[in-house]
Amino acid sequence: MSVAPGKPPPVLAAGALAWREKGGRLQVLLVHRPRYDDWSIPKGKLDKGETFPAAAVREVAEETGYRVRLHRPLPASVYLLPDGRTKIVQYWMGTVRAKIGPGPESAAEIDRVRWVGLDEAESMVTRQGDQVPLQTLRRHAEAGELRTAPIVIQRHGAAVSRSKWRRGEGERPLNSKGKKQAKALPALLDAFDPVSVVSSPWERCLSTVEPFARAGGLKVRTKDELTEAGHAKHPSRTEAVIDRVLREARPTVVCTHRPVLPTVIEAVRRSAQPGASLELPREDPYLAAGEALLLHVTPDGAVVAIERHLPNIG
């Protein structure tokens, strides 16, 4: 994020509006801040080198004791602080993965945590900026789009250049930047809790996703259709792989190569709602090396929201 000369950098923060259904009633998770005597959505500042999604998961855990998985994004909140700096808070919808603590880590910052109904939540929150995520979650619930699965289209990390590589394309490895990206990727992807990994069997793709798969105890399934050569020979088979992943609507990481991305993106476009399709990349290289295109997919395979994220390597 670029900052104008002489202007202080913005304060970056992230949070998540966790929801659950209990007794046929939709509830959300709020926290009470004794310093301000207000109720709000759990959130907090990014640590150095942290991505927005990873920060959102960490902050919710520290403030509530719940580890969440992120789902589709909610509108960001942007406002001025008393010292004149801009604060940007990125929000996601979330669901609970596990209870990992008894409650807030610091009672001085958060002294109460409550699950409350949506109507009650809207009357409890103090900041107007917190109303927008609540109202957006309500709209998604009314549209029957509350439950979504993340599907990550992952371009492999930065690789040794073709001109410097004398062996086969399938063996061309990541360079030092790509290795750093692969090492940083688990913290980013884990925020969305994928349960399946599908990859081109070529070295640079496998090396990109293997650290995440290893950390999560997942097996990497390989598809020749996701290689550059397989795509060039039978692009329709590449489309079929993506179509199947979207139809299954299972939280999945799909790792492939830049020349394959136009076909992948067109397959996604066919399943995307009009508003979401506007967020799809339109020009080569479509994604930067190591970048993730995150699709939020309903159980019937419709793509309703799209994000892009790079692992933070400093």
Kindly give the parts of the chain with pLDDT less than 50: 1, 3
What does the pLDDT read at residue 19? 98
CATH 3.40.50.300 is the classification of domain 149-309: no
Alpha helices in the chain (DSSP H): 52-64, 118-124, 128-142, 176-190, 203-216, 228-233, 235-248, 261-271, 274-277
What does the pLDDT read at residue 128? 85
**Distance between CA atoms of residues 308 and 88, nearest Å:** 17
pLDDT 10s digits, 131-157: 999 999 999 999 999 999 999 999 999
Domain boundaries, the chain: 11-142, 149-309
Contact 260, 228 (CB under 8 A): yes
State the fold for domain 11-142: Nucleoside Triphosphate Pyrophosphohydrolase (3.90.79)
Contact 72, 140 (CB under 8 A): yes
Cis geometry, peptide bond prior to residue 281 (ω within 30 degrees of 0): no
What does the pLDDT read at residue 6? 64
Show the 3-state SS of 9-37.
CCEEEEEEEEEEEECCEEEEEEEEECCCC
**Interaxial angle between packed helices 203-216 and 176-190, expressed in degrees from 0 to 180 and rounded to the nearest 10:** 40
pTM metric for this prediction:
0.94
pLDDT 10s digits, 52-81: 999 999 999 999 999 999 999 999 999 999
What does the pLDDT read at residue 44? 96
Contact 288, 310 (CB under 8 A): yes
Contact 182, 157 (CB under 8 A): yes
Q: How far is CA 6 from CA 3, 77, 85, in A?
A: 8, 23, 12
Q: How far is CA 51 from CA 80, 133, 216, 235, 290, in A?
A: 22, 20, 19, 34, 14
What does the pLDDT read at residue 126? 86
Domains 11-142 and 149-309 share a fold: no
